Amino acid sequence: MTIEVGQKLPDVPLTIGTADGPKPTTSGEYFAGKKVALFAVPGAFTPTCSARHLPSYVDKAAELKAKGIDEIACVSVNDPFVMAAWGERDGSQDVTMLADGNGQFAEAVGLEMDGSKFGMGKRSQRYSMIVNDGTVEQLNVEGPGEYRASSAEHMLEQL
């Protein structure tokens, strides 16, 4: 069942991909006490994710923060080393790269997808959400192959 607006995020393991190496955390710990603009992508370095999705949040980071967002995070079913490398190449200090290496977060929020026909296995759907102290305030899930509702531009319209 897909998580809904007003619900608390489930507490599952995540890892922050940093230049200094993986930093283990949990969703409960990471989202506590702050307002986070979270966006999820099917995979680091994939075409839409690298050309449009991550860049939209990098470009709009200051505007999001000016509207009350404390932190911006990107989550993907990739390992923390891949997420750190992607963040170094295409991200910025304004975007935290969260690795959901085993897909536990995607599954727990009910937003997993099967990318097996593309050789990707189980992944996350493309979506965005505003999470305030662990509670979902906005949720924007894309249809298959779409990219609009989860963009930083759309999120700015919601704030």
Residues noted as catalytic: 49
Contacts of 26 (CB under 8 A, 6+ apart): 11, 12, 13, 14
Contacts of 113 (CB under 8 A, 6+ apart): 42, 106, 122, 123, 124, 125
Q: Are 110 and 139 in contact (CB under 8 A)?
A: no
Return d(Cα 92, Cα 114) in angstroms, integer: 29
Buried b (16+ CB within 10 A) or exposed e, 129-144: bbbbebebebbbbbee
Q: Mapping DSSP to helix (H, G, I), strand (E, B) and coil, where does residue 154 land?
A: helix
Pseudo-torsion of CA 144, 138, 123, 20, nearest 10°?
140
